């Protein structure tokens, strides 16, 4: 595996609109998209900084993964996503090395990317996402 960059940092927040205001007015970033990901029970806002997106995540359901995370740990970084060229190969490589996978096959995430999570029990505590952007690779 050789990720090209940090594709995004997923940050769990209680109030999406107030958080967007902080990142826009204080940090000077710009929110370019808000999207609801129904199967993850989140409303998500995206802000770009260099190669990386800040992905703010507000739960739409207290029983969803972000709702539970905020309940247990409070607001803050929920996951770190690395851009890879071939997510299927990387998952097979990680599995072969004994890494516990949350997603054994890639699934569709926000912004149409193919994504999969590695379990934090195998990554020294950080929930790590792998992302493949097929449109980018096809355009190279």
Binding site for a second copy (CB under 8 A): 1-6, 9, 11-15, 18-19, 22, 25-29, 49-52, 73-77, 80, 82-83, 93-94, 97, 99, 118, 120, 122-128
String of DSSP letters for 3-62: --EEEEEEEEES-HHHHHHIIIIIT---EEEEEEEGGGTEEEEEEEETTEEEEEEEESST
**Tokens representing residue 31 in the block:** 């929110």
Integer CA distances (angstroms), 79 to 10, 76, 138, 140, in order: 5, 9, 26, 28
- State which residue, 2 or 140, has the beta carbon closest to a second copy: 2
Q: Are 84 and 3 in contact (CB under 8 A)?
A: yes
Least Å distance between CB 112 and a second copy?
A: 21
Least Å distance between CB 91 and a second copy?
A: 11
Least Å distance between CB 130 and a second copy?
A: 9
Least Å distance between CB 29 and a second copy?
A: 7
- State which residue, 38 or 92, has the beta carbon closest to a second copy: 92
- State which residue, 94 or 110, has the beta carbon closest to a second copy: 94
């Amino acid at each position: 595996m050789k990720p090209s960059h940090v594709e995004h940092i997923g940050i769990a927040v209680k109030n999406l609109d107030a958080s967007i205001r902080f990142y826009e007015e204080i940090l000077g970033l710009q929110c370019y998209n808000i999207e609801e990901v129904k199967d993850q029970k989140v409303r998500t806002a995206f802000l770009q900084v260099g190669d990386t997106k800040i992905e703010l995540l507000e739960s739409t359901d207290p029983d969803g993964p972000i709702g539970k995370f905020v309940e247990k740990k409070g607001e803050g970084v929920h996951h770190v996503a690395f851009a890879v060229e071939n997510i299927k190969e990387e998952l097979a490589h990680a599995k072969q090395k004994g890494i516990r996978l949350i997603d054994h096959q890639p699934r569709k995430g926000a912004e149409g990317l193919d994504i999969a999570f590695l379990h934090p029990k195998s990554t020294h505590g950080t929930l790590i996402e792998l992302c493949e952007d097929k449109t980018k690779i096809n355009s190279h």
